[in-house]
Structure 1
Amino acid sequence: MPPTPLFSYQVPWDFTADRPVIGWDGKMAELTWVDFGEDEELSMESKLDLVSPDEPDAPDSAKEGNTSLATNSIGNESGNVCDAAPLNSTLDLSHPFYDIARHRILEVAGEDHYGRRVIVYSCCRMPPIHELNHHRLLQYLKYTLDQYVESDYSLIYFHHGLTTANRPSTSWLRGAYKDFDRRYRKNLKALYVVHPSGFIKTLWKVFSSLISRKFSKKIVYVTCLDELRDHLKDIWLDIPVEVQRYDRQLKKRLAGKEGSTIKKTPPPRPPLPHQQFGLSLAVLKEKSNGENIPLVLKQTVTYLKLKGLKTEGLFRRSATTQVVQEVQQRFNLGKPVNFDEYKGVHVAAVILKVFLRELPQPLLTFNLHPCILALSCVESSLRVTRIKEILNALSGVNYIVLKYLMCFLNTVAQQSIQNRMTAHNLAVVFGPNITWSQDQVQSLHTFVPVNIFTELCIDFYDSIFRNHTESGEILP
């Protein structure tokens, strides 16, 4: 006689361990039969996730452990593979959560196309339970999110690598969800769950009484990294090697299945005659008959100076995908753009950030990025002088555009009583959009010197920029 079917909303509970019998990694060792009812997609996916790293038949990548790999785009590898489970060697020992942060479980990946800060959580970087204080982990999560929750943000959750050895208890999960109150959930615009197991989807149903319908709509299940690229476009992520290898294995597994959602990336298209996004400043200058300030930058700054200086939370709100793409398309086709037609200020602010982020090389160039990171080692009283020295190496159109931008941001900061955008808040927003490393990998520790540099450029604009002029420069 077959066992009694277990439907999707019924999960056997281990009251001793205070967690479901099914493992976080999708194992069903203690469950003889799961009937997912009419949820065929969930049933199929659960069968793909029965292997976990602690089983003898697990993929080689899981056995090799965790590796750190710089990625130059979502799902593409470059650089050298390091030793297993690399720690953050550049993290300051005085960091209040050094014991947790050094594992690089949580990383900040800059902003997506729509102006949202993107934060990444990698399960495969979680050490075994006996090596990680989960109460401290929760405190660290809140400590990190507290820096960004006042603005729109997104979370990427890499599920692969969560096993019986490192998974937290379900009581911890329930407590964590309750601790992350409305302040954290309100501005979370998307939660991307990458490589979800069938169990993860079942768990959401079990906890449906705790999770609001509004929050549930923010959850996006992502089958593979190619799919994540479709959602996040050109954002750069430090994706663990283990996750990338698992993704390749998953693609092979799904390749022969009908209706596979795995997509091939189309070849890049040649730029349009009036293209504005994704081109270098030198090319844009040539296309505009020698104009140093690109059209998008000039038009957004002009509009924001006229209508946005007193808008509370300027540069902290995101815009919808459809609107951003439509505005970009109009610029790229050489058509006029009236921001009043798109609810104005916040769309113009996002377009400005998108333009800077899509430059092939950052405004401050790759060469100056190491100098900027070293700024945090300079004595506070000498930092402005050091910034002047750094900017002496920046000439031509890059310097002119930077000076134009900083002049505008200084004007915005002067209205901070109304718009709440101090030099510090503006630096948090614009720092990652004007400088990044050539391998594009960013983490929490790199944002500190970048933000210091940007904040000082805004606060001490006159001291830094007034005595350095370039031929053909203009100011907003």
Structure 2
Amino acid sequence: MNLEQLAEKELRKDEEEQRILSGESSASALTPLAGGPPLDLNHPFYDVARHGIVQVAGDDNYGRKLVIFSCCRMPPSHQLNHRKLLEYLKYTLDKYVESDYILVYFHFGLRSSNKPSLSWLQNAYKEFDRKYKKNLKALYVVHPTNFIRVLWNIFKPLIRYDEKLRASQKGGPPRPTRTPPPRPPLPQQQFGVSLQYLQDKGNGDLIPLVMRETVLFLKQKALKTEGLFRRSANIQVIKEIQKQYNLGKPIKFEEYGDENIPAVILKTFLRELPQPLLTSQIYDQVQSIGTVESSLRVTRCKQIIQSLPEHNYIIVKYLICFLHMVSQESIFNKMNPSNLACVFGVNLIWPTKGPATLHALPPINMFTELLIEYYSQVFSARILPNEVLP
């Protein structure tokens, strides 16, 4: 049995298992999901793009584009030009490959009726040269099956060849990376340093410069911008602005002509704090918010927030006050407290070791949503003399 036959055999096994698990009929198994047409009817890739097989799903927490390939949206092979599908995938990636990006492959839905040939897959792999691989930070395969293992055996020689070729081009085998010794921050450093450092270097200002300037701009110019904080911005521009801030140079967001840039800068600032703004000390209390009776959760949030150190409390109140303003314009910007919580929760608090797990996200989001929606109640009891509000 050759590899093509072996792959076909495993794929049919996978199909049968999927039918048993989902209780679907043979007819429904072959029906692709309808994707909204992302291109104009006259676009040369419209006939491929209309299926929604390849989609760009926004950014991850590090500002990297997420490109999604969904097998369940692939129509039967006789209805799709696979060569054109490859060209459309490259056409989509070409817009993002100069920056870091993530590729997510959803395997569920690949069947005998819609799968491309193995020779097509091999040719496709060969066409994805260094241009596409150099900034690919991760490839996630969702719902892997035995068919994927067969493909791995087919592609293993090509992958190994790629590794050897890259090693030879670099003058030898890759060396283990070493963590460079920590460097002292620049005198005007704004990103990646503690709140205390920022206060000491900022003439005692309690609200960090980056937060103050981004909030001020967004409050004046972007409260009604649809998708505020959900849309991405050019990663190179973001890095350049961070560099300018760290060198102590003034930033004028008006000159960039993109309201999403200061929104991303604000999220990046919070994410790069050495310690979370809400502090690690209250992490376990935040995680238990879902166990509190719903009628008592706002009161519990208030108790937790009151326990923050004074400096953190002032900054948190400043930020949540602004996010509450954003939520009040949700009829225009589509960012209600729940949507804002999904964006900001993971940037306000995280565990002491590693990123938050999927299991940990719901209570973090719930806690953040309560802070935003019930801002007045949560922050009413503790009034500090040095408070600053947006």
TM over 0.5: same fold?
Answer: yes
Tell me, what secondary structure is at the counterpart of 2:185? Answer: coil
Structure 1: 5+ residue runs without aligned partners? Answer: 1-10, 21-128, 143-147, 158-172, 194-201, 230-250
> For the aligned residues, what is the CA RMSD?
4.5
Tell me, what secondary structure is at the counterpart of 2:369? Answer: helix
Q: 1:386 to 1:203 in 2, by over 3 A?
A: farther
Tell me, what secondary structure is at the counterpart of 1:273? Answer: coil
Tell me, what secondary structure is at the counterpart of 2:359? Answer: helix
How many percent of aligned residue pairs carry the same amino acid? 42
- After TM superposition, list the pairs within 5 Å mapping 1:159-198 onto structure 2: 175-176=71-72, 178=74, 190-192=101-103
Tell me, what secondary structure is at the counterpart of 2:313? Answer: helix
Match of 2:210 in 1: 296
Instruction: Give 1:271's aligned amino acid.
Output: P
Q: 1:333 to 1:134 in 2, by over 3 A?
A: farther
Match of 1:28 in 2: none
Task: Identify the range of structure 1 (313-322 vs 350-359) with the bigger mean alpha-carbon deviation.
Answer: 313-322
Structure 2: 5+ residue runs without aligned partners? Answer: 23-32, 34-54, 76-84, 105-115, 139-162
Match of 1:442 in 2: 356
Match of 2:230 in 1: 316
CA contact (8 A) 1:309 1:419 kept: yes
Measured in 2, the distance between the counterparts of 1:405 and 1:294 equals 11
Q: 1:454 to 1:16 in 2, by over 3 A?
A: closer
Match of 2:244 in 1: 330
Instruction: Give 1:456's aligned amino acid.
Output: L
TM-score by length of 2: 0.64
**Equivalent of 1:152, from 35, 50, 59?**
59
Shift of 1:468: 1.6
Instruction: Give 1:467's aligned amino acid.
Output: A
Shift of 1:17: 3.0
Per-residue CA shift, 1:409-456, capped at 9, x if unaligned? 000001111111111100000000000000023221211001100111
Measured in 1, the distance between the counterparts of 2:70 and 2:379 equals 52
Q: 1:133 to 1:395 in 2, by over 3 A?
A: farther
Measured in 2, the distance between the counterparts of 1:468 and 1:15 equals 68
Measured in 2, the distance between the counterparts of 1:356 and 1:465 equals 20
Q: State the structure with bigger RCO (CA 8 A, min sep 6), 1 or 2.
A: 1
Structure 1 residue 13 and structure 2 residue 7: aligned?
no
- After TM superposition, list the pairs within 5 Å mapping 1:50-61 onto structure 2: none
Per-residue CA shift, 1:86-111, capped at 9, x if unaligned? xxxxxxxxxxxxxxxxxxxxxxxxxx
Match of 2:336 in 1: 422
Per-residue CA shift, 1:191-228, capped at 9, x if unaligned? 258xxxxxxxx9998249999x9xx79995479xxx95
Measured in 2, the distance between the counterparts of 1:294 and 1:135 equals 57
Higher helix share goes to which structure? 2
Q: 1:341 to 1:174 in 2, by over 3 A?
A: closer
CA contact (8 A) 1:404 1:474 kept: yes
Q: 1:442 to 1:341 in 2, by over 3 A?
A: same
CA contact (8 A) 1:384 1:464 kept: yes
**Equivalent of 2:187, from 265, 273, 281?**
273
Structure 1 residue 475 and structure 2 residue 389: aligned?
yes
Match of 1:432 in 2: 346
Measured in 1, the distance between the counterparts of 2:119 and 2:384 equals 61
**Equivalent of 1:405, from 316, 319, 332?**
319
Measured in 2, the distance between the counterparts of 1:408 and 1:458 equals 9
**Equivalent of 1:343, from 244, 250, 257?**
257
Q: 1:206 to 1:435 in 2, by over 3 A?
A: same
Q: 1:207 to 1:268 in 2, by over 3 A?
A: same
Shift of 1:318: 1.4
Tell me, what secondary structure is at the counterpart of 2:102? Answer: strand
Per-residue CA shift, 1:219-272, capped at 9, x if unaligned? 95479xxx959xxxxxxxxxxxxxxxxxxxxx99x9898254555443332100
Measured in 1, the distance between the counterparts of 2:283 and 2:247 equals 33
Q: 1:204 to 1:433 in 2, by over 3 A?
A: farther
**Equivalent of 1:306, from 220, 227, 232?**
220
Tell me, what secondary structure is at the counterpart of 1:444? Answer: coil
